[in-house]
Amino acid sequence: MHTVPPSPSAVPAHVHQTQAVAVAGLLTLIALCLAWELWLAPLRPGGSWLALKALPLALPLAGLLKRRMYTYRWLSLMIWLYCTEGLVRATSDAAPSSYYAWAEVLLCLLVFTACTLHIRLRLRTARVAQTQV
């Protein structure tokens, strides 16, 4: 059964805030991945094919902007792949690449936290609305 999402005015402000943090964190992570692998510390001069790792991060943007609960759920799981890559490279790469890897880890934690908070707040809001009906 497909439910219609509530109108933007019916969504509490804290839900909008978690959405904004998730979108901003994801966009920053995409920018970091591209800049890291192409200009800041590429594995090869002129850029690296590892910049393609930013492409899967672009897929959930539309779902986040439309507040699709399914997108928040699978992004909160997918982001751990990037966190793992960041941890491995933070402990194995030399500076400055290791610094960018730590930034990747922090951004992944930010996106995960924003997604999980968004899901919890939306479920709580829906539960309260359901009990009022």
Chain segment 25-59, per-residue pLDDT in tens: 999 999 999 999 998 987 777 678 888 999 999 99
Domain that holds residue 92: 15-42+54-132
Residue 5 is which amino acid? P
pLDDT of residue 81 exceeding 80, the answer is yes
Please tell me whether the peptide bond between 60 and the residue prior to it is cis, using omega within 30 degrees of 0. Answer: no
Cβ pair 116, 101 in contact under 8 A: no
Is position 3 within any domain? no
- pLDDT for the residue numbered 6: 54
Is position 32 within any domain? yes
Domain count for the chain, please give it.
1
The total of other beta-carbon atoms located within 10 Å of residue 87's CB is: 15
Is position 86 within any domain? yes
- pLDDT for the residue numbered 128: 86
Is position 99 within any domain? yes
Model-level pTM? 0.87
- pLDDT for the residue numbered 43: 74
Is position 58 within any domain? yes
Helix and strand tally (H, E) in the chain? 5, 0
